[in-house]
Chain A
Amino acid sequence: MTDAMVRLVDHVVIRFAGDSGDGMQLVGSRFTAETARLGNDLATLPSYPAEIRAPAGTLSGVSSFQIHFADQAVRTPGESPDVLVALNPAALKANLADVRLGGLIIVDAAEFTPRNLAKAGYADSPLSDGSLQDYQVEAFDLTRLALEAAQPYGLGRKQAARVKNMVALGLLTWLYSRSTEPTEDYLNDRFADQPDLRQANLAAFQAGIACGESSEAFAVRYEVAPAPMPPGQYRQISGNRALAMGLVTGAHLAGLPLFCGSYPITPASDILHELSGCKEHGVITFQAEDEIAGVGAALGASFAGHLGVTTTSGPGLALKMETIGLAVMMELPLVVVDVQRAGPSTGMPTKTEQSDLRQALWGRPGESPAVVLAAQSPSDCFDTAVEACRLAITYRTPVILLTDGYLGNGAEPWRLPDLTELPEIPTAWSQRPNGAAPDGSPRHLPYRRDPVTLIRDWAIPGTPGLEHRLGGLEKAVDGSISYDPANHDQMVRLREAKVAGVVRDLPDLAVDDPSGQAELLVLGWGSTHGPIAAAVARLRALGFDLARAHLRHLNPLPANLAQVLDGYGQIVVPELNLGQLAEMVRARTLTPVTSYSRVRGQPIGVRQLVGFLRDRLEGSEPDRAEGTPDRAEEELS
């Protein structure tokens, strides 16, 4: 047995990759739980094959899970893995280009057979042809270790071989000095009723640990110290799950049952799944016949006094737009979640993008204002969803909440909220008539408004004496159809002013400018928050002054936006689109801004953004602000 030296490192990126049947997501999530237990900050991102059952052993069947953990704040799941665990040749081939030079590659030697190599498109084994000389490659017979560990428990060969994922997990657990308890607890619980499987998995996990201890391969093992985090109770949370929890919490704060009408779509379906399991929280989910029915039923539920929400991705949002317009006209609460993906059309459903901003803001017929919000990180999906519910109910308005595939599937530690500290959301339904009919009899005037906020009086069915009709046709204050030019002019402006007036309820845009000397401001929105924060932190560590601000509210924009922009000579707007926010900011503030645009289906690369910003800070003239990255940059990524 070697007594490996322990070396302290500040951050590590590990990618687990294998065939989609190899259980890589499970290994990743268990390693994450072990890491969270040690108090590291972390971020994770899974990557699934687009095909549900791609042929085993092929490049298209590779599934992976990446974790970035550190003794300090972690902003992104990381770009270049320090460690790649590749359980077959295809997993190696599909992921090798991302691994940092000199990184550690652990493979299952048993899988590098001529047949598997051929499936992955290798002519010769990369383990022996010298092509991996820039990396530290450690080949173990993980399959044999799994079979030996499982042998006493009577599993068939195929089933026994499947526990090799636990061998790999044990090895990494040892190498990074992780806590073994969460995985042991998990296996004991998961296979409580299947003692053979439980024992085989535990034995495989132990075999992986023993493999690390006894191997000559590792002269050092690593530790990552805990990151300073505010005290409290934490859990690991993905963006989609946090968003579902935020919706349920928002409805809870309003004292309303939640109704979610949705149609399955990648990458938003997990929100529907999560809400479908919330029956004890009063949540009704309606898997509709199409996107339109999903939002229609949600709007009906809101009319009836529930909180109606619908969840989708870009193509689905397009189908829902007419109904969102109806919600604008009827002035009813409606929360529409768009987990954006690469478009247009079907695009790349499993890949991320931020290209629905214009659609959310302006994709409806007529002057049709809606509140638009964007979440910034997986855990922030919770806060933004609560905020969406609050604004929808308070202002009787549709709210479009933008996240994306990167946020939805990514995960990070989340400090659990104290429900008693979250403010209640009053529904303030009308109980008595607020006006009179022409004959003087008491009557509910559905479009009578608060003179300051312009919020209309809302009565739900079942309230006696307040019967009224709403609909898509333009209305007078009493709810009757009106084609009067002056009335339409007034109503269009009232609806616009009501949504614009939400700004009174919003915090000013906060600027992160520690020195107060910065000339350059990086302005972002949504999921670019992590990469921008990481890039800005790196540049500050190099001695540069630069400021950073991030928009959560896209409509209305914070009141002080123009004033903030005025304070900086250069403004750079990084986005995963062709400059949609940049264009809006230019139009609204008449401020020149530089768009940094990426549409590769991936999060913004920190290294490339650092390079771009550094050029700007040093006064050189980068020539690819809005274009595609040049070849050298691509190869770097």
Chain B
Amino acid sequence: MRGGLDLVPTSPQALRRADFTSSAEVRWCPGCGDYSILAALTGLLPELGVKRENVVIVSGIGCSSRLPYYVDTYGLHSIHGRAPAIASGIAITRPDLSVWVVSGDGDALSIGGNHLIHALRRNVNLNILLFNNRIYGLTKGQYSPTSEMGKVTGSSPVGSTDQPFNPVSLALGAEASFVARALDSDRAGLTEALRQAAQHRGAALVEIYQNCPIFNDGAYDSLKGPTSDQALIRLEQGRPIVFDDGRSCLIRDPSSGDLQVAAVDQVDPARILVHDATRPDPSLAFALSRLTDLSGQIRRCPIGLFRQVERPCYDDLVRQQVSWSAQPETRAAALSRWLAGPEPWTVD
């Protein structure tokens, strides 16, 4: 199987972060998690070794969607929710481009939910970054499709009554071939997730937990700081899933197959679940995603790569069906034949 960047021309000279930094003044609120995501991306892009002019970043609407202005590649700041659709048109027509979608929880999961699931289902060669701050930021603080139930906001003064989405579960249900979750403050983990996404051929969804210091500050505090290991379940390929400073682990119920949290010293080490994101069946990845606590303070949350499988890439399949002669004369002749159809007649 080819990698996500295999058809993208490589840069003859080494590029640096500065080459990918545009002259536009970054205008996110002080302390916004978007800054660290931007830094991770502009740090990674030169490392990918592709030509700068062959990178395209497409965004929708929202705070996160300002990102294309800050990266000196080709970019498109589109309209609310439509970035996956627009990016699909770019990726299908141009296999020589590395196409990134930047979106937020409102953009990708509310107004653009339809486009997201279909881009994942088709497996278009896109890297989709879902900045999830669990709030509407640009419209000043309404609850989003990932906000916890009961959230008090400007549009839910006595608490929201909406059940939130779990974006990883949603993506897995939509047949995604690559699903990862990362944390804005974890530069190394985030960079690694972005790198894996770029190198994956097909649609890669990276849910990024991102703090909004103005309208939803501290949403991910339980996943940061010295006590975070109690909540964070780090998924490492080929490694037993152990967390809480080595005290807890995941095992499968032998009869139902359900995942259970167990004390490491209470189980046979052979029963501890070994993480394998490449399993063809998504059931276990889905079960992992369901361990995510969707309440206001997240008490438990798997993080890392949930799923990466090989699946034919939609745009590759589409292009395989299409042929177009390099010779204009040949093209004209074929076109003339088609225009004439099977039953032309002549008037003298």
Q: Which residues of A contact B (CB under 8 A)?
A: 33, 36-37, 39, 182, 229-237, 245, 248-249, 252, 255, 257, 259, 261, 278-284, 286, 288-290, 292-294, 296-306, 308, 322-323, 325-326, 330, 415-417, 419-420, 437-438, 461-473, 480-481
Given A308-B89, A461-B97, verify A296-B78 contact (CB < 8 Å).
yes
Bound together, the chains give a CA A129 to CA B315 distance in angstroms of: 64
Give, as a whole number of angstroms, the nearest-CB distance from A426 to chain B. Answer: 14
Q: Which residues of A contact B255 (CB under 8 A)?
A: none
Is B48 among interface residues, defined by CB-CB distance under 8 A?
A: no
Name A293's contact: one of B22, B52, B76, B88 (CB within 8 Å). Answer: B88
Q: Is the CB of B346 within 8 A of A233?
A: yes
Bound together, the chains give a CA A229 to CA B347 distance in angstroms of: 7
Given A235-B343, A255-B328, verify A296-B348 contact (CB < 8 Å).
no
Q: Is the CB of A282 within 8 A of B93?
A: no
Bound together, the chains give a CA A299 to CA B74 distance in angstroms of: 15
Name B93's contact: one of A237, A249, A305, A464 (CB within 8 Å). Answer: A305
Would you list 6 pairs from A and B whose C-beta atoms are within 8 A, ordered by A residue? A255-B328, A281-B338, A293-B118, A305-B94, A465-B53, A468-B74
Given A255-B328, A292-B82, verify A286-B323 contact (CB < 8 Å).
no
User: Which of B65-73, B140-148, B294-302 touches A?
Assistant: B65-73
Bound together, the chains give a CA A464 to CA B96 distance in angstroms of: 13
Q: Which residues of A contact B22 (CB under 8 A)?
A: 469
Instruction: Identify 13 new A-B residue pairs, CB closer than 8 A, beyond the known A36-B345, A304-B56.
Output: A231-B346, A234-B347, A282-B324, A283-B322, A284-B322, A297-B85, A297-B86, A301-B92, A438-B23, A467-B53, A468-B75, A469-B68, A471-B78
Q: Which residues of A contact B85 (CB under 8 A)?
A: 261, 288-289, 292-294, 296-297, 300
Is B158 among interface residues, defined by CB-CB distance under 8 A?
A: no
Q: Which residues of B contact A289 (CB under 8 A)?
A: 85, 114-115, 118
Q: Which residues of A contact B319 (CB under 8 A)?
A: 284
Name A231's contact: one of B332, B340, B347 (CB within 8 Å). Answer: B347
Q: Is the CB of A469 within 8 A of B339?
A: no
Bound together, the chains give a CA A104 to CA B220 distance in angstroms of: 81
Bound together, the chains give a CA A299 to CA B86 distance in angstroms of: 6
Q: Is the CB of A472 within 8 A of B93?
A: no
Is B256 among interface residues, defined by CB-CB distance under 8 A?
A: no
Q: Is the CB of A463 within 8 A of B53?
A: yes
Name A323's contact: one of B23, B79, B321 (CB within 8 Å). Answer: B79
With both beta carbons as reference points, the residue of chain A lying nearest to B66 in the complex is identified as A481
Give, as a whole number of angstroms, the nearest-CB distance from B155 to chain A. Answer: 22
Q: Which residues of B contact A420 (CB under 8 A)?
A: 332
Is B58 among interface residues, defined by CB-CB distance under 8 A?
A: yes
Q: Is the CB of B339 within 8 A of A245?
A: yes
Q: Is the CB of B94 within 8 A of A462?
A: yes
Q: Which residues of B contact A294 (CB under 8 A)?
A: 85
Name B97's contact: one of A286, A462, A464 (CB within 8 Å). Answer: A462
Give, as a whole number of angstroms, the nearest-CB distance from A350 to chain B. Answer: 25
Which of the four size classes fits the interface of chain B? 35 or more
Name A232's contact: one of B53, B90, B346 (CB within 8 Å). Answer: B346
Is B39 among interface residues, defined by CB-CB distance under 8 A?
A: no
Q: Which residues of A contact B335 (CB under 8 A)?
A: 248-249, 252, 281, 419
Given A234-B345, A416-B344, verify A326-B56 contact (CB < 8 Å).
no
Give, as a whole number of angstroms, the nearest-CB distance from B25 to chain A. Answer: 9
Name A467's contact: one of B61, B72, B332, B338 (CB within 8 Å). Answer: B72
Q: Is the CB of A284 within 8 A of B92?
A: yes
Q: Which residues of A contact B18 (CB under 8 A)?
A: none
Bound together, the chains give a CA A232 to CA B345 distance in angstroms of: 8
Q: Is the CB of B94 within 8 A of A437?
A: no
With both beta carbons as reference points, the residue of chain B lying nearest to A481 in the complex is identified as B69
Is B270 among interface residues, defined by CB-CB distance under 8 A?
A: no
Given A278-B338, A437-B23, A462-B53, verify A472-B78 contact (CB < 8 Å).
yes
Name B115's contact: one of A235, A237, A296 (CB within 8 Å). Answer: A296
Q: Is the CB of B79 within 8 A of A461?
A: no
Q: Is the CB of B321 within 8 A of A279?
A: yes
Q: Which residues of B contact A (CB under 8 A)?
A: 22-24, 51-54, 56, 58, 61, 68-69, 72-79, 82, 85-90, 92-94, 96-97, 114-115, 118, 318-319, 321-324, 328, 331-332, 334-336, 338-341, 343-348
Q: Which residues of A contact B69 (CB under 8 A)?
A: 469, 471, 480-481
Bound together, the chains give a CA A420 to CA B93 distance in angstroms of: 27
Q: Which 6 A-B pairs have the closest CB atoms?
A: A300-B89, A471-B77, A282-B324, A297-B89, A296-B85, A293-B85
Q: Is the CB of A471 within 8 A of B68?
A: yes
Q: Which residues of B contact A245 (CB under 8 A)?
A: 338-339
With both beta carbons as reference points, the residue of chain B lying nearest to A420 in the complex is identified as B332
Q: Which residues of B contact A306 (CB under 8 A)?
A: 93
Give, as a whole number of angstroms, the nearest-CB distance from A441 to chain B. Answer: 9
Given A296-B115, A416-B340, verify A259-B92 contact (CB < 8 Å).
yes
Q: Which residues of A contact B51 (CB under 8 A)?
A: 462, 464
Name B79's contact: one of A283, A326, A419 (CB within 8 Å). Answer: A326
With both beta carbons as reference points, the residue of chain A lying nearest to B80 in the complex is identified as A322
Q: Is the CB of B75 within 8 A of A469?
A: yes
Q: Is the CB of A293 within 8 A of B97?
A: no
With both beta carbons as reference points, the residue of chain A lying nearest to B74 in the complex is identified as A461
Q: Which residues of B contact A468 (CB under 8 A)?
A: 74-75
Bound together, the chains give a CA A91 to CA B95 distance in angstroms of: 53
Given A257-B93, A292-B85, A419-B336, verify A280-B323 contact (CB < 8 Å).
yes
Name A461's contact: one of B72, B94, B347 (CB within 8 Å). Answer: B94
Bound together, the chains give a CA A18 to CA B345 distance in angstroms of: 29
Q: Is the CB of A235 within 8 A of B332?
A: no
Q: Is the CB of B92 within 8 A of A286?
A: yes
Q: Which residues of B contact A469 (CB under 8 A)?
A: 22, 68-69, 74-77
Q: Which residues of A contact B338 (CB under 8 A)?
A: 245, 248, 278, 281
Give, as a whole number of angstroms, the nearest-CB distance from A243 to chain B. Answer: 13
Q: Which residues of A contact B92 (CB under 8 A)?
A: 259, 284, 286, 297, 301
Name A230's contact: one of B56, B321, B328, B347 (CB within 8 Å). Answer: B347
Give, as a whole number of angstroms, the nearest-CB distance from B317 to chain A. Answer: 11
Q: Is the CB of B322 within 8 A of A279?
A: yes
Q: Which residues of B contact A249 (CB under 8 A)?
A: 335, 339
Bound together, the chains give a CA A236 to CA B339 distance in angstroms of: 10
Q: Which residues of B contact A302 (CB under 8 A)?
A: 89
Given A37-B345, A303-B76, A473-B77, verify A462-B331 contact (CB < 8 Å).
no
Q: Is the CB of B89 within 8 A of A286?
A: yes
Q: Is the CB of B52 within 8 A of A300?
A: no
Q: Is the CB of B346 within 8 A of A234?
A: yes
Give, as a whole number of angstroms, the nearest-CB distance from B318 to chain A. Answer: 6
Q: Is the CB of A472 within 8 A of B77?
A: yes
Q: Which residues of A contact B86 (CB under 8 A)?
A: 296-297, 299-300, 303
Q: Which residues of B contact A461 (CB under 8 A)?
A: 53-54, 56, 74, 90, 94, 97
Q: Which residues of B contact A462 (CB under 8 A)?
A: 51, 53-54, 94, 96-97
Q: Which residues of B contact A471 (CB under 8 A)?
A: 68-69, 75-78
Bound together, the chains give a CA A33 to CA B318 distance in angstroms of: 35
Bound together, the chains give a CA A301 to CA B318 distance in angstroms of: 14
Q: Which residues of A contact B345 (CB under 8 A)?
A: 36-37, 39, 233-235
Q: Is the CB of B93 within 8 A of A304?
A: yes
Give, as a whole number of angstroms, the nearest-CB distance from B258 to chain A. Answer: 33
Bound together, the chains give a CA A184 to CA B249 distance in angstroms of: 77
Q: Is the CB of B58 within 8 A of A300?
A: yes
Q: Is the CB of A301 within 8 A of B53?
A: no
Q: Is the CB of B89 within 8 A of A282?
A: no
Q: Is the CB of A419 within 8 A of B332?
A: yes
Q: Is the CB of B24 within 8 A of A301?
A: no
Q: Which residues of A contact B323 (CB under 8 A)?
A: 279-280, 282
Q: Which residues of B contact A465 (CB under 8 A)?
A: 53
Bound together, the chains give a CA A235 to CA B338 distance in angstroms of: 11
Given A234-B345, A280-B323, verify A303-B75 contact (CB < 8 Å).
no
Bound together, the chains give a CA A230 to CA B346 distance in angstroms of: 10
Give, as a whole number of angstroms, the nearest-CB distance from B37 to chain A. Answer: 17
Bound together, the chains give a CA A382 to CA B278 distance in angstroms of: 50
Q: Which residues of B contact A323 (CB under 8 A)?
A: 79, 82
